Structure formats: structure tokens, C-alpha cells
């Protein structure tokens, strides 16, 4: 029951039609796509000038998310070098060699208004809640391509390299705690209120109040995240330039996300190998069916001969 090349191409073509239609529809959706601002965005506000680097928020984050402490550096102390699959929240130290002011900085997901990770994911495994604006990861849709890790302008999502069913991890603002009426882990233990939780509008007001009441204390009297990268739900005040703390000067346009949304159209062409694969599976199935039938007939024949 050999299959002809004509049959092969026909089968691939048949399998390709629905996908081609889906790709066209997907493109139209992208063209019509408009960004919506969440109705009640929830936020973290971190004032680096109040942080004493105690790292209580790191441990609280581990406890809240049931992740083990990262003791990989010396086998004894929790001292992760960077965000990683067990570390969704990290305190780092900026200490310039020239003796100018140093600063701690807390890093976690910024819950961007226009998240590059969401725009970069070809399968919508990352999505932004339309009400509270928290960016979530849906493991059932993730294929482990890791585009989100490249697309995030803050290098936040981390990929689990080991394990049978790898996961992407990032701060999701402890939404499981919020659902129980609790505050995020990190904001419930900070001894100096360097990090606090609330709605974005109230935290933005608090940040501006601190700037007004403390002239000359904060870098450029600016709240990082108010407009940067199209606005983020994590807001920062600092005494030292934000860039020194790993917060890039992106500007008010969420350029990376806009670009990525268009690139997503190109990603959709990655469906092509899937189309070819689907066609080949159809061909193989057809062949197998033929062989099974032949084998069955042969068996029947052999059996019949044995009975004779």
C-alpha cells in the first residue's frame, strides 16, 4: 500500500488549510488588537532609600510561594546570585567603586501595562488579568520555547532547565494570597515599609507625597514605572540613577511589546512545520492502516492454510 507523492502533497495540503485559515484569523485579531488598561491595577511600591537589605522579603517570598531557599552559593546561606526558578524576588546591592552612594534594589516582575513577555509568547501561555493587571503563566499552554525570557525588558521570567515538565517562574504578585485576603509575602514582612502593596493609584500618590515632603532626596524626583515602558505596576523611588539598579531607561513607549506583537505574526509561521508534521502523520496513519489490513489478511490466509 505505498503512497504516491501526489497523495502526500494532497494530504499535507488538506492538513494545512485549517491552519492557514487560523493564521489569517489570528492576523486579523492582531491588527484589531488594542491594549486595555486594567480596571484596578494592583501594585508594589519599593522605596530603595528605605531598604536596609535585610532580605526578609526574599525569605517571605520563598515561604509564600513554597519554593526552597537558594543556598547554591555556599551550601549554607540563602544568597541567590539573581532571579532563578526558586527565586521570584531578590535584593541586590549597587556599590560603586568610586565611593559614591550605594543602594539596595528589590527586583521582581514589574507587571508591565504592556508586557513584552505576553506579546512575545506565541501561544498565549502568559496573559495579563484585565482587572488587577497581574501577569500570569498558564503551564497548560506553554511549550517551553522561552521567548518570554528574551522578550522581557527586565529579564524577569526564568526557565526551569531541569525536570521532566519544565516551568516558567516569575512573581505573580502572590495572587494565591490575595485571593485569601492576604498581602503579598514580601510586603507583609518588611521592617521599614520599603516595599508596600496597594492599588497603583494610591501607591503612586504615596510616592509623589514622599517626593514632595523630601526635596532633593530622590533621583530626578521621579517615580520609575509611572510612565516607563508604557507604565508598570511595580513603582520605584531611588536616590541613585535607576539604570544603576538595573531599571533601564526605556522611555514612555512600550516599544519592545509593540514590536513583539507584530513579530508574533511572524511566529505564527512556525505553524508551518506543524502543518507538515500533521500531513506526515496523516500519511503514516494511512500507510499503517494499509499495512495492518494487509497483515490481517495475511494472518487470515496463513491461519486458513494452517487449518487446511
Give residues in contact with ligand SF4 (CB under 6 A): 51-57, 60-61, 64-65, 88-89, 91, 104, 106, 108-112, 115-117, 135, 152, 154, 156-157, 170-171, 173-174, 184-186, 189-190, 192, 194-195
Task: Supply the minimum distance, in Å, between the C-beta of residue 112 and ligand SF4.
Answer: 3
CA gap 55, 263 in Å, rounded: 39
Task: Supply the minimum distance, in Å, between the C-beta of residue 171 and ligand SF4.
Answer: 3
3-state secondary structure of 100: coil
In terms of CB distance, is 85 or 195 closer to ligand SF4? 195
In terms of CB distance, is 253 or 301 closer to ligand SF4? 253
In terms of CB distance, is 106 or 261 closer to ligand SF4? 106
117 contacts 126 by C-beta, under 8 angstroms: yes
User: Cell numbers at residue 214, please?
Assistant: 523630601
Exposure on the CB side of residue 158, measured as CA atoms within 13 A: 18
277 closest CA partner among 3, 4, 16, 6:
16
Task: Supply the minimum distance, in Å, between the C-beta of residue 279 and ligand SF4.
Answer: 35
In terms of CB distance, is 58 or 204 closer to ligand SF4? 58
234 closest CA partner among 262, 183, 198:
198
Task: Supply the minimum distance, in Å, between the C-beta of residue 234 and ligand SF4.
Answer: 8
Task: Supply the minimum distance, in Å, between the C-beta of residue 75 and ligand SF4.
Answer: 22
Residue 236 dihedral angles phi and psi, to the nearest 5°:
-130, 140
CA gap 227, 244 in Å, rounded: 18
In terms of CB distance, is 121 or 278 closer to ligand SF4? 121
CA gap 207, 200 in Å, rounded: 10
CA gap 142, 269 in Å, rounded: 17
106 contacts 46 by C-beta, under 8 angstroms: yes
In terms of CB distance, is 174 or 235 closer to ligand SF4? 174
In terms of CB distance, is 171 or 237 closer to ligand SF4? 171
Task: Supply the minimum distance, in Å, between the C-beta of residue 164 and ligand SF4.
Answer: 24
234-237 and 42-47 as β-strands: parallel, antiparallel, unpaired? parallel
CA gap 183, 189 in Å, rounded: 10
282 contacts 14 by C-beta, under 8 angstroms: yes
The span from the first CA to the last CA of the chain, in angstroms, equals: 28
In terms of CB distance, is 229 or 282 closer to ligand SF4? 229
Task: Supply the minimum distance, in Å, between the C-beta of residue 50 and ligand SF4.
Answer: 7
Task: Supply the minimum distance, in Å, between the C-beta of residue 68 and ligand SF4.
Answer: 14
Calculate ∠ Cα 135-136-141, nearest 5°: 130
Amino acid at each position: 500500500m505505498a503512497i504516491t507523492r501526489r497523495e502526500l502533497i494532497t494530504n499535507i495540503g488538506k492538513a494545512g488549510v485549517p491552519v492557514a485559515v487560523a493564521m489569517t484569523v489570528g492576523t486579523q485579531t492582531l491588527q484589531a488588537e488594542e491594549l486595555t488598561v486594567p480596571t484596578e491595577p494592583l501594585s508594589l511600591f519599593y522605596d530603595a532609600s528605605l531598604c536596609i537589605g535585610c532580605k526578609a522579603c526574599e525569605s517571605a517570598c520563598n515561604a509564600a510561594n513554597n519554593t526552597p531557599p537558594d543556598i547554591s552559593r555556599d551550601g549554607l546561606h540563602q544568597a541567590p546570585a539573581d532571579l532563578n526558578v526558586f527565586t521570584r524576588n531578590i535584593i541586590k546591592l549597587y556599590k560603586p567603586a568610586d565611593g559614591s552612594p550605594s543602594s539596595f534594589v528589590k527586583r521582581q516582575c514589574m507587571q508591565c501595562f504592556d508586557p513584552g513577555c505576553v506579546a512575545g509568547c506565541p501561544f498565549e501561555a502568559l496573559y495579563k488579568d484585565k482587572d488587577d493587571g497581574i501577569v500570569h503563566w498558564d503551564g497548560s499552554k506553554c511549550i517551553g520555547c522561552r521567548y518570554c525570557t528574551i522578550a522581557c525588558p527586565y529579564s524577569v521570567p526564568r526557565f526551569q532547565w531541569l525536570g521532566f515538565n519544565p516551568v516558567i517562574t516569575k512573581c505573580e504578585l502572590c495572587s494565591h494570597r490575595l485571593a485569601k485576603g492576604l498581602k503579598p509575602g514580601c510586603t507583609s514582612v518588611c521592617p521599614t515599609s520599603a516595599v508596600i502593596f496597594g492599588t497603583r493609584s494610591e501607591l503612586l500618590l504615596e510616592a509623589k507625597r514622599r517626593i514632595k515632603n523630601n526635596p532633593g532626596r530622590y533621583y530626578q524626583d521621579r517615580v520609575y514605572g509611572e510612565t516607563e515602558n508604557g507604565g508598570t505596576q511595580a513603582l520605584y523611588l531611588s536616590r541613585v540613577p535607576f539604570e544603576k539598579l538595573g531599571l533601564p531607561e526605556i522611555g514612555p513607549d512600550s516599544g519592545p511589546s509593540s514590536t513583539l506583537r507584530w513579530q508574533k505574526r511572524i511566529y505564527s509561521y512556525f505553524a508551518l512545520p506543524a502543518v507538515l508534521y500533521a500531513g506526515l502523520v496523516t500519511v503514516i496513519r494511512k500507510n499503517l492502516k494499509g499495512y495492518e489490513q494487509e497483515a490481517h489478511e495475511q494472518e487470515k490466509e496463513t491461519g486458513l492454510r494452517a487449518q487446511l
